[in-house]
Chains A and B, each alone.
Chain A
Amino acid sequence: KAGVTQTPRYLIKTRGQQVTLSCSPISGHRSVSWYQQTPGQGLQFLFEYFSETQRNKGNFPGRFSGRQFSNSRSEMNVSTLELGDSALYLCASSEMRDRELFFGEGSRLTVL
């Protein structure tokens, strides 16, 4: 069974630009959540999607948004990028909202 796939793995953007990150969950997994990892901050919850509906949202500004498609694939978008948005963005999936998450390798975003 293929794992969680995130694309792109690495990307560089400049301030003010916007970025879209993609996540393909494990086949059969309906829940997808997104986390941001920055040095010294651990992993911070961004959003959780289940059956195409956002179920939970973390404490991030409205520049961070996401969606889930009918095939459970998910995208997150960050608009008007700031230097502080440089981070590893991790996507995780699970069969239900049952807590044991399977993480992808992440998309490392650098904002210059």
Chain B
Amino acid sequence: DQQVKQNSPSLSVQEGRISILNCDYTNSMFDYFLWYKKYPAEGPTFLISISSIKDKNEDGRFTVFLNKSAKHLSLHIVPSQPGDSAVYFCAAIPTYGGATNKLIFGTGTLLAVQP
């Protein structure tokens, strides 16, 4: 049972435009969400995160929005650059009594930014 879903396996965007990557989750007990970027032959790289008590977090060109009622989060990249072309994974951390690094990942969305 996939608790974190990225329903778009791929997305193509023109350079300079906005890229919007979406992620849905089914477990209301997630309290922290993260986005990772992965280039071929490399490990994932942390991009941005958001706590469940917030609805928006911004870091430079990257903004993550969280809609708890819809169990939906999205990553906006503005403006998109060719170097942003990669696979993007959203991940969630379930609520536990303590800290944990057990991330539940989505299946990823391949972003292609066209020059």
Chain B residues with CB under 8 A of A90: 43-44
Q: How far is the CA of A68 from the CA of B77 in the complex (A)?
A: 38
Name B65-115 residues within 8 Å CB distance of A.
89, 91, 93, 98-108
A102 touches B46 (CB 8 A): yes
Is residue B32 contacting chain A, with contact meaning CB distance below 8 A?
Answer: yes
A43 touches B105 (CB 8 A): yes
Category for how many chain A residues contact B: 20 to 34
Is residue A48 contacting chain B, with contact meaning CB distance below 8 A?
Answer: yes
Chain B residues with CB under 8 A of A42: 4, 6, 89, 105-108
- Tell me which of B4, B43, B44, B99 has the highest count of chain A C-beta atoms within 10 A of its own C-beta: B43
B101 touches A48 (CB 8 A): yes
Interface-side segment among A13-21, A70-78, A79-87, A91-99: A91-99
Chain A residues with CB under 8 A of B44: 43, 90, 101, 103
Chain A residues with CB under 8 A of B91: 43
Is residue B53 contacting chain A, with contact meaning CB distance below 8 A?
Answer: no
Is residue A31 contacting chain B, with contact meaning CB distance below 8 A?
Answer: yes
Chain A residues with CB under 8 A of B41: 105
B101 touches A105 (CB 8 A): no
B6-18 near A? 1/0 per residue, CB < 8 Å: 1000000000000
Q: How far is the CA of A44 from the CA of B105 in the complex (A)?
A: 7
Shortest distance from the beta carbon of A16 to any chain B beta carbon, whole Å: 29
* A contacts, CB < 8 Å to B: 4, 31, 33, 35, 40-45, 48, 55-56, 58, 90, 92, 94, 96-106
30 contacting pairs across A/B (C-beta < 8 A): A4-B43, A33-B103, A35-B103, A40-B107, A41-B107, A42-B105, A43-B103, A45-B104, A45-B105, A56-B102, A58-B102, A92-B43, A92-B101, A94-B101, A96-B99, A97-B98, A97-B100, A97-B101, A98-B101, A99-B99, A100-B34, A100-B46, A100-B49, A101-B44, A101-B46, A101-B101, A103-B36, A103-B43, A105-B42, A105-B43
| Other 18 A-B pairs with CB < 8 A, given A43-B44, A103-B44 | A33-B102, A40-B107, A42-B6, A42-B105, A42-B108, A43-B105, A56-B100, A90-B43, A90-B44, A92-B43, A97-B98, A98-B101, A99-B34, A99-B49, A99-B99, A101-B44, A101-B101, A106-B43
